[in-house]
A and B are shown apart, each in its own frame.
Chain A
Amino acid sequence: MNKQPGQYFGQPLQRLEDQPLVRGQGCFAADISFPYQLHMRVVRSDHAHGRILSIDTSAAAALPGVVAIWTADDVADIPPIDFREGSVEKLAPFRQHILAQGKVRYVGDPVAVVFATDAYLAEDAADLVRVDIEELVPLLSADDAPQEFSPGLLTEATICSQGYGDVEAAFKQAHAIVELDLSIGRHTGVPLETRGAIGRYDAARDVLELHGAAKVPHRNRESLAKMLSRSTTSLHLYEGHVGGGFGVRGEIYPEDVLVLVAALRFNRPVKWIEDRREHLMATNHSRQQHHRIRAAVDANGLLLGIENEVWHDQGAYIRTHGTRIADMTCGILPYPYKVPAYQADLHFRLTNKTPAATYRAPGRYEANFVRERLLDAIAIRLGLSRIEVRRRNLIRQEEMPYEAPLMALGEHIVLDSGDYEGLLDKSLASIKCVELEAEVAARKANGELVGLGLAMFVEKSGLGPTDGARINVDSSGTVEVVTGGASVGQGFETVMAQVCAETLGVAYTKIRVVHGRTDRIEYGIGAHASRATVMTANATREAALLVRKKALTVAAELLQTPEDQLDIANGIVFRPSQPQGPSISLGEIAQRLRPLSPNRGDHIPGLCAEGWFNTDHQVYPYGVFIALARIDPGTGAVIVERIQIAYEIGRAINPMLVKGQIMGGFAQGLGGALLEEFRYDDRGQPLCLTFADYLMPTLLDVPPVEILLCEDAPSPCNPLGIKGAGESGIAAAGAVIASAVEDALGLPGVIRSLPITPHMIKDILRKSSGTPVEMCP
């Protein structure tokens, strides 16, 4: 593997995506309109839990411009929304119908839909729909005893367990047992663009279209086709510009299905644009878990075993991911440390709150917080530094690849490559840890509440097994890369263009990248779980290699030169030994390869190829966070003064974009650590339905992120050596901020939950009577 940056590969090139976006020429969901379209408005439950007694639509239906109003009976033929990875019989009863049948289970549960000729009017009509609900006592915490979900079924849908080794023996021989009770608050992605879906039925071609798709259009097409009893080839999903994904957008929600059913039935386009109030109660929430974790350690601080019991607050229904986050939480928790015996049991429980699913680094943000709190606690218990306790427990470079007897995303974890201790050392050196510790000690001595935090983590990326891409060069020399990937704003087009440009030998600006369209390519892996770059880039490379081969074969004939003496640069095939000699452009070759071209010879028409990439295993990037935080004792405010993120990326195709992912991810992670939380009152009414209540970080809340991007451990799992980056900046943000805040307080064990609010800090300061303990990092 060539580690040198190429002309395109490894370069911080400007994005191809930016031109239309800075000019206001993007095409987001709300920007899509079709003639004669109807506007859909969802009537949502005002109650967290209740029985629907009646729904009176008469006043609403009487408004001029209202075309139809549906309740559950009108869509009784549509099955509930299934799990993407296939049905799980045990979980099937907990799936969500597209309109609530008989019962409502969270504030925001869709009970009816209005179709009208104007969006304002649709909202007027929705207001007039009278829903009579007999209120039932809501279940609002996964800690509370499970109740009846439906006759014969409890709200504890399942218990997810993973483990290995003799945990009991580990605890019996322990020098010390460290036990923590930790929780992570309910928060989520909240992209700046709300969701949107536009259904359109083209009767002339018998094609049903869903515009506003994102994330996994191809996989969603299969699910939707099944729900609507259509062939997949007569259903197409179109991804336009996407105003942020973060895991929550692009899953199948009731509204996506409703616009399609309505478009078919009315034979008119149907447009639905979520408003922000709806978004905060209807789009997937995430993260809420409660962990009771115990570690058995020997006298040197070496982990002997970990036992963890988890209560996972799933909200009202089980959505498209099934129990994926729960499985991920249990599977990834131990790493990067060696844990001889391990057992995790997670209570997967439903509550009367917005359904939960994946948000950037699902399961890892949670697990990293829990594990790293545990390591800090072990350090304190044994009087070790926080660095030393980690160093002693890290999996060693010589143990790679490290086969772990745990599962993540349905496959066995094999940590592919890495030097965890090496990255820790680099990280400490880069931030000048010794000087920083001295500076913090001096400030502490001066009375300041200031502290350092450290957190390590292992990410996962690039889940396969297979993705493909098709490349075609037209006679102008423009290259089209057709992928089944998805762009959620991460720079997908630019990255694919860079890989294609480097491999094929064309300028990256001459490349057009297609994504998110089921009518252009049959299969696609989408953009989720940091896999787009690993999977689709490698597929693009395969296709580009084939096109290159074909171009060289044709050129060799024309230039009367052996293929191995030719090269391609800037779209021109030439002889490097004779740069001024004969050459031919890719466009000319494409011209010769047209089906009717008299010069085609025996070649199959077209300068095009399809490439596939297969992998057996995910890749496991890793990182180290170090944070410096200060507390204002008067208000309880936490100010993150510095953050350094060291991250092993394997190989960065575009370091500027990787850094962008890390910076943006950290800002979101800081939000979850300090600001963002969906709160409910005791009747299950959501208290955060505005941006004045759901607090996301602004520019003044996010410090500059110091990034140490390392390419020391390229993945052996793919020819490009790349590991993903999409979730790295957020993964250990909660963990490191908690660590720094606890150090600033000088009170071991007091930071047990996220978000860390000023209120919580003031409570801790008021109640603290113990002597501050010096915790060196």
Chain B
Amino acid sequence: MKITLTLNGNKHQVDVEPRHTLTDVIRDACGYTGTHLGCEHGVCGACTIIVDGEAIRACLMFAIQADGRTIRTIEGLAQGNTLHPLQEAFVKHHALQCGYCTPGFLMLATHALEKNPDITDAELQDVLSSNLCRCTGYQNILAAVQDARDTMRTPS
């Protein structure tokens, strides 16, 4: 079946089987391998992307369900050479080690900050508890997202 995905602003027409997950299609058919598979059953959050303005687990959506939808992945976060404030903050706060969970955390946090730029620390902790990281112990991820929130709130 032919479907069309708008991925980071680019239209991709791809041929899929109904059972192909959105993650597999984004990675294998569209070539955006920045979205990672960590569990394929919706727990770890490594495949978190933004579909029509909602942060979702791409392993729990079939690609065919995303036909005609607008999708944002990690590859669309930076503007050319300029990193998104969240990406900057992750580097600054050593919020990644192996980097495998990082795209999922970045997309999760991007969505949270876009939805509520004034999100409280407690709400952030709740949101960020959605995804698993095995390297960092999370504190630096939290610090990075808090920092990015504050930076984005007060344009300099």
Contacts and interface: CB of A to CB of B under 8 A. Distances in A.
Contacts of A24: 32-35, 73-75, 77, 103
Which residue, of A15, A21, A244, A729, has the highest number of chain B Cβ atoms within 10 A?
A21
Contacts of B55: none
Given A190-B134, A699-B125, A15 B94 contact: yes
A660 B43 contact: no
A346 B90 CA distance: 45
A537 to B, nearest CB: 18
Given A489-B135, A699-B141, A120 B20 contact: yes
B151 to A, nearest CB: 15
A489 B99 contact: yes
B41 interface: yes
B40 interface: yes
Nearest to A275: B40
Interface string B14-56: 0001011000000110001111111111011010000000000
Interface stretch (A200-208, A404-412, A663-671, A747-755): A663-671
A680 B32 CA distance: 38
Contacts of B137: 663-667, 702, 705, 729
A26 interface: yes
Contacts of B139: 663, 702, 704-705
Nearest to B92: A14
B128 interface: yes
A657 interface: yes
A191 interface: yes
Contacts of A698: 129-132, 138
A30 B33 contact: yes
A18 B99 contact: yes
A246 interface: yes
Main secondary structure of the interface of B (DSSP, over half): loop
A242 B36 CA distance: 12
Which residue, of B17, B83, B96, has the highest number of chain A Cβ atoms within 10 A?
B96
B96 A22 contact: yes
A193 interface: yes
B14 to A, nearest CB: 15
Contacts of A275: 40
A217 B28 CA distance: 27
B133 interface: yes
Contacts of B134: 189-192, 244, 246, 664, 667-668, 696
B46 A699 contact: no
B75 A23 contact: yes
Contact of B100 (A19, A23, A193): A193
Contacts of A488: 98
Given A192-B134, A489-B135, A699-B129, A120 B41 contact: no
Contacts of B136: 660, 663-664, 667
Which residue, of A19, A26, A192, has the highest number of chain B Cβ atoms within 10 A?
A192
Given A666-B137, A667-B138, A702-B138, A192 B38 contact: yes
B146 interface: no
Main secondary structure of the interface of A (DSSP, over half): loop
A699 B100 contact: no
A31 interface: yes
Nearest to A249: B98
A490 interface: yes
Interface string A92-116: 0000000000000000000000000
B39 A691 contact: yes
Contact of A193 (B32, B38, B43, B96): B38
Interface string A163-206: 00000000000000000000000000111111000000000000
A457 B146 CA distance: 34
Contact of B91 (A15, A491, A659, A729): A15
A623 interface: no
A665 B137 CA distance: 7
A158 to B, nearest CB: 32
Given A246-B134, A698-B132, A656 B43 contact: no
A210 to B, nearest CB: 20
Given A191-B134, A664-B137, A691-B132, A28 B83 contact: no
Interface in A644-672: 656-657, 659-660, 663-668
B34 A23 contact: yes
A664 B135 contact: yes
Contacts of B78: 23
Contacts of A691: 39, 41, 43-44, 132
A277 to B, nearest CB: 8
B24 to A, nearest CB: 8
A666 B126 CA distance: 21
Contacts of A668: 134
B15 to A, nearest CB: 13
B43 A22 contact: no
Contacts of B103: 24
13 contacts: A22-B102, A28-B100, A31-B33, A189-B134, A193-B100, A246-B134, A276-B39, A276-B41, A660-B94, A696-B134, A698-B138, A699-B129, A699-B138
Interface of B: 17, 19-20, 27-28, 32-41, 43-44, 46, 73-75, 77-78, 83, 87, 90-92, 94, 96-103, 106, 125-126, 128-142
The 3 residue pairs across chains A and B that have the minimum distance between CB atoms = A24-B34, A489-B98, A21-B99
